[in-house]
Amino acid sequence: MRIESNKPIEHLGAVRVHDVRRLLELDSGTRVQTMTGESIGIQRIDRAAIANVQQRLAIVLPVKDEDLKVFEGVLTGIPNDCLMIVISNSQRGEIDDFRKEQDVLERFCNTTKRSALIIHQKDRYLGEALANCRYTEILDENGLVRSGKSEGMIIGILLALLQGKDYVGFIDTDNYIPGAVWEYAQHYALGFSVADSPYAMVRILWRYNRKLSGEFYFKKWGRVSEITNKYINNFISTKGKFETEIIKTANAGEHAMSLQLATKLTYATGYGVETQELMSIFEQFGGFLPIEDEVVAEKGVDIVQTETINPHMHEERGEDHLIQDMLVPSLSVIYHSPLCQETTKQLITKHLEEMDCIGSGGEVPRLRIIPPPQTADIQKLAGALEEHLSDYYIPKESAMLPRWPITSRKTRQVKKVIFTDLDGTLLHPVSYSYAAALDSLRSLQQAGIPIIFCSAKTMAEQQVYRQELGIQDPFIVENGAAIIVPKDYFRFSFSFSKIVDDDFLIELGIPYQVIMNKLESLHDRCEAKITTFGNLTAEEVAKVTGLNLMMAGLAKQRDYSETVIIEGTKRQIESALSSINEMGLKYTFGGKFYEVYDGGDKGRAVKLLVELFKLSFGDIYTIGLGDSLNDVEMLAAVDLPVLVQTVNNRWNNVKVKNLKRVIGVGPEGWSKAASELLGS
Ligand code: GDD
Ligand code: MG
């Protein structure tokens, strides 16, 4: 995507409000940029950067009695990488609209191989769980969550948090244009990738085409948002030295936040919610009052505003709804903010009187304000909801709970987990044999110690070794680009990218084709001879690697990285490597070949898997075994890093804290380390 950059930013205490950036191109392709780079004032955001955010983004879809076809259309617009969380307040009973929504979502997930959460806002267990974790302001007198989109949004925030997501975005389900829905999710991702602070918010300014529909409606809507923007800007202006018009999205229903920010804000009931989010940011971090949270004060808060290309067309609900449900609440939250000065208050009162929203001399109604989600006891909430989780999941068996505490399963004894590289470590650097390690490997298996492969090898290659050795533990492929977890391995649920046969895949890297496309230009850029495995036959790969023909074929089946042979003088090789970096790719050297990739690395993958093991076993002790530089990140991520010897009985020059060097080439060293571990 390409958007405008270099737009003005206004600073208010720790808050940076970015002026609206227009989107210039929906898809900027995969072609690598030339050295001259982008034109001034334009920023290109890579597909991989977007994917990276979207994998951590939950899209909350509030729904109340919407047309099912429209609802289905909205689902088709949500990018596959995002987790969908549907919060419904639709009617139940004899005519059960909620059931129908569940069916539509289930069909959609089955066809598209996705998982999602769907919960009714009035779910009895949800109410009980919230009462249990002392988040009662959101509950009505019957102990159920109150009606309202904003209450639905808060449930969405809490569920996204429990899913281990980093961001949450909201998209209404009465949107007629799936392409617009898709675009909002892109904007959220690009907004977070341009924000500097982890406390960030992205707010969307719609572009709409008046000729398309409802000129009357759009005019009125435009007026409502104009009025709210005017008073919020007026309020900011009274606080500073200059007049400002920086806020152009006070009512932005389509918006997203990092969960770190979302959990700190207060929320107004009803449609004043989006305005209140801004007020809450200004109250806490705008510098008008002392900023209590030192971390946020230091990092700041980014409010990024962007303008979309697709038209926004949604269900029309009439003028009364706009004025009474949206304008009055929006102005009310500005009016009742402790920061609002008398001058702004008077203007608001006058405006509402003139519009006959309040009688002359009448009070501006005050909305209920819901405290920050972080005041809820999240651990308790997780515990209380765990039992009912599968009811909210689609498909049921994918119920996932990465951060939910599984306290009951904690054992006192510390569980050991081994992470091991393959080539040159468990497999001999020349013969690829694991024979020397077999006995100790069997003893580890008998002791119930998981053996996690963590290698540059592909999924297909590693499956061969796992089968031969009878290893059924998760494994990390292509240098950390993906983690593969057998479906029934962990007894709790967690987020994953996709299901392949009987495995959950957690993808961290970017797709193979994107890398290949980038690498194509490498030949022209440098003098070194570049050979990619993708362009070699299995026979040729067998020849250069020493692998047998079958294994060479499997080595070519790459999903997230490419093996590259770079030949030339030292200078030529170095220049080729820096070109690879310039193209936005990373590489590691495995001893013979370079693995080119982007996204995941061995360390990141190990850390993620360690978290899952911790949820399963409580405290764990991790051991990492490697032989070369491309194991550094893995070794740095474990409790006990071990380095085996390479050919000539030497250790590679690997620098990691507390590194233990064992004597023995590849599997011999492996075996020694394993026996020591069993003895300890
Ligand atoms: N879960 C839940 N609970 N969802 C609800 C409820 C509720 O009680 N009430 C409404 N919704 C859903 C609707 O089904 C729709 O998907 C979405 O929330 C927005 O409701 P609308 O009634 O369509 O709101 P709007 O179009 O007037 O206003 C929208 O745009 C404004 C301007 O951007 C909303 O997003 C506002 O919040 C926003 O200010
Ligand atoms: Mg609407």
pLDDT above 90: percentage of residues in the chain: 62
| Cα 367 to averaged position of ligand 2 atoms, centre (Å) | 21
Residues labelled as active-site residues: 421
Q: Residue 409's pLDDT band (boundaries 50, 70, 90)?
A: very low
Q: Mark the residues whose beta carbon lies below 5 A from ion ligand 2.
A: 172, 174, 314
**pLDDT number for residue 32:** 58
pLDDT at 659 over 80: yes
Residue 435, C-beta contacts closer than 8 angstroms, at least 6 positions apart: 667
* 65 CA: nearest ligand 1 atom: 14
More confident position, 519 or 183: 183
Given pLDDT bands bounded at 50, 70 and 90, which one contains residue 37?
low
pLDDT-derived band at 425 (thresholds 50, 70, 90) equals very high
Measured in angstroms, how far is the CA atom of residue 149 from the centroid of ligand 1? 5
244-280: buried (b, 16+ CB within 10 Å) or exposed (e) per residue? bebbbbbbbbbbbbbbbbbbbbbbbbbbbbbbbbbbb
Give the pLDDT confidence score for residue 262 in this predicted structure: 97
The pLDDT-based confidence of 473 (bands split at 50, 70, 90) is very high
With bands split at pLDDT 50, 70 and 90, how would you rate the model's confidence at 584?
confident
- At residue 168, the 3 state secondary structure works out as strand
Which of 59, 67, 119, 149 has the most ligand 1 atoms within 8 A of CB, as the residue to mutate?
Answer: 149
**546 pLDDT exceeds 80?**
yes
pLDDT of residue 636: 96
The preferred substitution site among 64, 126, 150, 204 for testing ligand 1, maximizing ligand atoms within 8 Å of CB, is 64
Q: What is the pLDDT of residues 458-467, one digit of tens each?
A: 999 999 999 9
Residue 281 phi/psi, 5° resolution? Answer: -65, -45
Q: Which stretches of 143-241 are assigned E, i.e. beta strand?
A: 167-170, 199-207
Ligand nearest, relative to CA of residue 170: 1
| SS3 state at 475 | strand
Is the pLDDT reported for residue 402 higher than 50?
no
Instruction: Give every CB contact of residue 271 below 8 A, 6+ residues apart in sequence.
Output: 149, 150, 251, 325, 326, 329, 330
Alpha-carbon distance of 25 to 67, in angstroms, equals 31
pLDDT of residue 38: 59
The lowest-confidence range among 187-196, 246-255, 268-277, 410-419 is 410-419
> DSSP assignment of 499-549, as one string?
EETTEEEEE-S--HHHHHHHHHTHHHH-SSEEEEGGGS-HHHHHHHH---H
pLDDT digits (tens, 9 = 90+) for 63-81: 999 999 999 999 999 999 9
- The CA distance from 492 to 488, in Å, is 9
Say what the pTM is.
Answer: 0.64
Please give the average per-residue pLDDT across 47-51, as a whole number: 85
Amino acid at position 119, single letter: I
The pLDDT, as a whole number, for residue 398 is: 62
Q: What is the pLDDT of residue 379?
A: 84
Least confident piece of the model among 294-298, 387-391, 525-529, 636-640:
387-391
> Does 410 have pLDDT greater than 90?
no
Q: In this predicted structure, what is the pLDDT of residue 274?
A: 96
pLDDT tens digits, 109-134: 999 989 899 999 999 999 999 999 99
pLDDT of residue 46: 82
For residue range 199-246, what is the model confidence (pLDDT) as tens digits?
999 999 986 655 455 555 566 677 888 899 999 999 898 877 778 999
- Please report the pLDDT score of residue 335 as a whole number: 95
More confident of the two residues 622 and 523: 622
pLDDT for res 678: 80
Residues within a 6 A CB radius of ligand 1: 62-64, 66, 87-89, 121, 147-149, 152, 172-174, 251-253, 271, 273-274, 314-315, 317, 321, 326
Q: Which of 272-276, 395-399, 534-538, 617-621 has the lowest mean pLDDT?
A: 395-399
> Do residues 312 and 221 lie in contact, with contact meaning Cβ atoms separated by under 8 Å?
no
